[in-house]
Amino acid sequence: MAFSDDVRHELARVIPSARCCRVAELSAFYELSGFLLGRQNQFLDFNTSFPFVARKILLMLTGLYPDLPTQVLMKRSRSRRSQVCTVRVLGRANAGQVYQDFRDQSVLEDGGVPRKKCCRRAYLRGAFLASGSITNPERTYHLEFSTEQSRLADKILATILSLDLDAGITQRKGSLVVYMKDGGQIASLLSLMGAHSALLHFENVRVLKEMRNQVNRLVNCETANVDKTVQAALAQLEDIELIDSVIGLEELPPKLRDVARLRREHPYASLQELGELMTPKLSKSGINYRLRKIREKARQLDKLDPKH
């Protein structure tokens, strides 16, 4: 099962207890996937491809309006690969009552964003059930809401921003997409919407990916350091061979001669390891200083010797 479906299944089991939250969630679903139908608006429909989402809509409607006449319709496509489940409110007065509750300005701020934080969370939950999707976190971090209406895209974005989360809007194939790409922000939204099991899986994957990335960074850094050490050691050996071939190592000052011989004996040792092998022991900076002096001597001889 796709991760989006896992999240949708979990959110479909979340039934808010507060009336205001139920209205907010249903209003989001209606705005993104609902219609007023008939000559006199005698039907109010909620459409979804998921029967378990239709069941939740029906439960919340009957919880809000116990005597509300409703009908559940199911239509399969010709290919029978998809279906549309419709939860229908019957009767002009009933449809109008539900519609007016969705448009109650006393519970909305400018732009239609719910005033209460709990209702904002419920609104985004309904929006996700209607038009949301989330990528498997093992591949990438991406959560989005899709709509063809700019007003709704702006409202979803404003609702997300009101919860101190970041999101953006882009266009894709004639639709507007409100999206989130930051793993931490997506995790916060999953928590706010009530998808706690999906959040746990998401965070587990995120931790493992971060650990793998950290290990890769450390390995890459260590590999780069080893390459750097080897290249430096090879250059030092070339300097030592040059000096030995031109004047002989015996002509070097004792301190430089000892380091030169030690480098020959341990061609791939680090500066710190060379320092530990000295008698008496020498610091890394001390070894580095003497090797620089050897390089300076090699460059001098290279300029004087016509063979080099």
Could you report the per-residue pLDDT of 75-87, keeping only the tens digit for each?
A: 876 655 678 899 9
Domain contains 122: yes
What number of residues does the chain have? 308
Strand partners, 84: 75
| Residue 282 is assigned to a structural domain of this protein | yes
Q: Exposed, middle or buried: residue 209 (CB in 10 Å: 0-12, 13-18, 19+)?
A: middle
Evaluate whether 78 touches 67 at the Cβ level (below 8 Å).
no
61, 99 contact by CB (below 8 A): no
Query: What 3-state DSSP class applies to 104?
Result: coil
* CA diameter of the chain: 108
Same-domain pairing of 294 and 171: no
Tokens linked to 290: 């003497």
With the C-alpha atoms ordered 192, 198, 202, 204, is the resulting torsion angle positive or negative? Answer: positive
CATH number reported for the structural domain that contains residue 68 in this entry: 3.10.28.10
Once rounded to an integer, what is the mean pLDDT over residues 19-43? 88
My answer on whether 146 and 34 are in the same domain is yes
DSSP reduced 3-state for 172: strand
205/16 Cα distance (integer angstroms): 28
Distance CA 141, CA 137 (A): 5
Query: What pLDDT does 164 receive?
Result: 95
Q: Which of 190, 208, 226 is the last residue of a domain?
A: 208
pLDDT of residue 224: 77
Work out the mean pLDDT of the chain and round it to a whole number.
88
Confidence of residue 110 (pLDDT cuts 50, 70, 90): confident
Tell me, yes or no, whether 154 lies in a domain.
Answer: yes
Q: Are residues 153 and 279 in the same domain?
A: no
Q: Do 274 and 188 share a structural domain?
A: no
List, in sequence order, every beta strand (DSSP E) within 104-158.
Answer: 132-134, 143-147
User: How many structural domains compose the chain?
Assistant: 2
Among candidate residues 186, 194, 156, the one with its CA nearest the CA of residue 12: 194
Dump pLDDT digits (tens) for 250-301: 888 888 888 888 888 888 788 888 889 888 898 989 998 999 998 988 888 8
Is there a domain that residue 194 lies in? Answer: yes
Give the H/E segment covering residue 236.
Answer: helix 196-246
User: Cα–Cα distance between 110 and 158 in angstroms, integer?
Assistant: 10
- Residues 79 and 64: beta-carbon distance below 8 Å: no
Judge if 159 and 12 occupy the same domain.
yes
Structural domain that includes position 227: 215-299
The residues pairing with 146 across neighbouring beta strands, listed in sequence order, are 177
Pairing of strands 175-180, 83-90: unpaired
- Which residues lie below 8 Å from residue 215, measured CB to CB, with a gap of 6+? none
Interval 51-70: pLDDT, tens = 999 999 999 999 999 989 99
Beta-strand ranges (E) seen in the chain are 34-37, 43-48, 70-76, 83-90, 132-134, 143-147, 168-172, 175-180
Per-residue model confidence (pLDDT) at position 305: 59
Amino acid 81 reads R
Q: What is the pTM of this model?
A: 0.71
Return the number of other C-beta atoms located less than 10 Å from residue 86's C-beta: 20
Q: Parallel, antiparallel, or unpaired: how do β-strands 70-76 and 175-180 relate?
A: unpaired
Give a yes or no: residue 24 inside a domain: yes
Of 118, 115, 141, nearest in space to 194 by CA? 118
